[in-house]
Structure 1
Amino acid sequence: MKKIVLALTAVAAMTGSALAADMAPRTYAKAPPVAAPVANWTGCYVGAGGGGAMTNNDGLLVDSVTGLPLTNNVTSGARGWFGTVQLGCDYQFQNWVVGAFGDYDFMDVRGDTGVFPVATGLQKQDYQWAVGARVGYLVLPQLLTYISGGYTQSHWKSTNLSFFGGATPFATMSGFTKGGWFVGTGDEYALTSFLPGLFWKTEYRYSEFDRADAQLFDFATGLPAPGFATNKVREHSVRSELVYRFNWGAPLVAKY
């Protein structure tokens, strides 16, 4: 009996050694890297800030009866500042962000305008609003660069005209409101080290408005004069805002 047990033990030992020799060494696969969770840009926000604007206005005087120009085109300019408020919503997919927004500017942009070379006046742009969309790319989890575009409308106040910039007006050019389009580009950066949800956004914007006809009135009598001035305004602006996002911090996995 002992001889049988010893024989079986020897056979088992030899079999185990053979199986161990035939088995390949175990390899360990490295786990794939897991993308770190970053904050989600999806959601709505409010913003407020300000900036500066400059405009060029191409204008000329036109006969009210014949519709023929009475003067050559005169280009004048205006400079000034504005405060702005904004409301918008964004949606993030992977590293891309798309969104829609609206903003309103309280403006003090003014400069000399002339319907013909010897008659000038101080023209003022006092408010503007815009609605549009933007698409951007996250170059860093906390830094968005984007382009924007949409519809805009602005208002210019009435302007008293005098000869050679004198103190006594002889005519008034009516105010006008005109719409147009805009394109812009900018970036937005998360200031989460100061306050969760706080962002800083800076944008350059170019706006072009439809041509506007402004009636001329005799300053002394208030009666319409036999002519009107055309205005074609183009605007460059730079704006900077602090933005608060309501849902900042919701986790989202993105690859960079």
Structure 2
Amino acid sequence: MKKILLALTAVAAMTGSASAADLGARPYVKAPMAAPVANWTGFYIFGGAGGGLSNADQHVRDTLTGTPLTIDQRQGGSGWFGTVGLGYDWQFSGTWVAGVFADGQFGSIRATIQDPIFGITGSQKLEDSWAAGVRLGWLVAPNVLSYVNGGYSGAHFGQTNFQTLAGAPAGAHLNSYNRNGWFIGGGVENNLNIFGIQSPGWFMKTEYRSAFYNAKTQDELIDGTNLPTGNSIRANSWNQTISTSLVYRFNWTGPVVAKY
């Protein structure tokens, strides 16, 4: 029995040695590469255009006493604008981007102003505005940023010239004025390396913004004399815009591979 066990052990040992000798060296396997991560930190400038809607809750007051003469009515309008701006972003925790920015808008977004007591109506134009704020975004892809933003805003509204319901000049107007408020919004920004075309540093962003401006009471004035008609109009302003802009990032290096 012992002789049989010894014989089997010897055969197993020789078989293992032969099998080990037949095996080649292990092939070299390269470690998997890390997912590409783009560098979004740095300064940028942008310019573009878009369209907007304007809404205002307004009522007529007695100029002398301030007593409301009508209830609030919502009036609206629409128009277009151009925009230019600049900003700075910081990328952190891999896929998060935070930044500060400032921009200006110029164009013609109009809203209706009415005095039903005198039977007159006019068009109030948002001529230009500015905004300064912050944004926070998440990289849905190395070259695509989805973000929300918010901050402080100011606007300049042009003079309103009233007409009668028949379309004739009414001989009264509201002076131009400035108003401050705040805004919230959001959008998507993406690199323009598409369809095999390389555009280092160039991006496109599409953004929605909603701006709210404080209410203001304005006296209706008689043309040529600036004397009050006896009525005033109190209105706030809510403007919604959608714009598309071309963006240039000064330090854009494209996707880079993280080192192990």
Q: Please give the range of the TM-score, normalised by the shorter of the 2 chains.
A: 0.7 to 0.9
Shift of 1:114: 0.8
> Using the alignment, how far apart are the partners of 2:166 and 2:127 within structure 1?
22
Q: Indicate the residue corresponding to 2:106 in structure 1.
A: 106
1:58-106 C-alpha deviation (Å, 9 max, x unpaired): 1111122221112222321111000000100101011000001111001
1:201-221 C-alpha deviation (Å, 9 max, x unpaired): 001111111111222211253
Runs of 5+ consecutive residues of structure 2 not aligned to the other structure: 1-12
Shift of 1:168: 2.0
Q: Indicate the residue corresponding to 1:202 in structure 2.
A: 206
Q: Indicate the residue corresponding to 1:130 in structure 2.
A: 131
Shift of 1:247: 0.4
CA contact (8 A) 1:176 1:212 kept: no
Corresponding residue SS for 1:210? strand
> Using the alignment, how far apart are the partners of 2:66 and 2:139 within structure 1?
53
- % of aligned pairs identical? 40
**1:239–1:227 Cα change, 3 Å:** same
CA contact (8 A) 2:55 2:111 kept: no
Aligned pair count? 236
Relative to structure 2, which stretch is displaced further, 224-233 or 139-148? 224-233
1:184-215 C-alpha deviation (Å, 9 max, x unpaired): 11100101334210000001111111111222
Q: Indicate the residue corresponding to 1:78 in structure 2.
A: 77
> Using the alignment, how far apart are the partners of 1:53 and 1:254 within structure 2?
42
> Using the alignment, how far apart are the partners of 1:90 and 1:129 within structure 2?
19
Corresponding residue SS for 2:148? strand
CA contact (8 A) 1:95 1:254 kept: no
1:89-144 C-alpha deviation (Å, 9 max, x unpaired): 10101100000111100121124321336210122110011011110000100111
> Using the alignment, how far apart are the partners of 1:65 and 1:29 within structure 2?
91
Q: Indicate the residue corresponding to 1:58 in structure 2.
A: 57
Q: Indicate the residue corresponding to 1:8 in structure 2.
A: none
Shift of 1:169: 1.9
Q: Indicate the residue corresponding to 2:186 in structure 1.
A: 185
CA contact (8 A) 1:172 1:216 kept: yes
> Using the alignment, how far apart are the partners of 1:109 and 1:31 within structure 2?
59
> Using the alignment, how far apart are the partners of 1:254 and 1:91 within structure 2?
18
**Is 2:177 the partner of 1:176?**
yes
**1:91–1:102 Cα change, 3 Å:** same
CA contact (8 A) 1:106 1:126 kept: yes
**1:189–1:165 Cα change, 3 Å:** farther
> Using the alignment, how far apart are the partners of 1:158 and 1:141 within structure 2?
47
Q: Indicate the residue corresponding to 1:244 in structure 2.
A: 248
> Using the alignment, how far apart are the partners of 1:130 and 1:230 within structure 2?
24
Q: Which one-letter code corresponds to 1:148 in the other structure?
A: N
CA contact (8 A) 1:155 1:176 kept: yes
Shift of 1:254: 6.1
Q: Indicate the residue corresponding to 1:7 in structure 2.
A: none
> Using the alignment, how far apart are the partners of 1:116 and 1:80 within structure 2?
24
Q: Which one-letter code corresponds to 2:199 in the other structure?
A: L
Structure 2 counterparts to residues 23-172 of structure 1, below 5 A: 32-93=31-92, 94-116=94-116, 118-172=119-173
Q: Which one-letter code corresponds to 1:44 in the other structure?
A: F
Corresponding residue SS for 1:211? strand
TM-score (ref. length: structure 2):
0.82
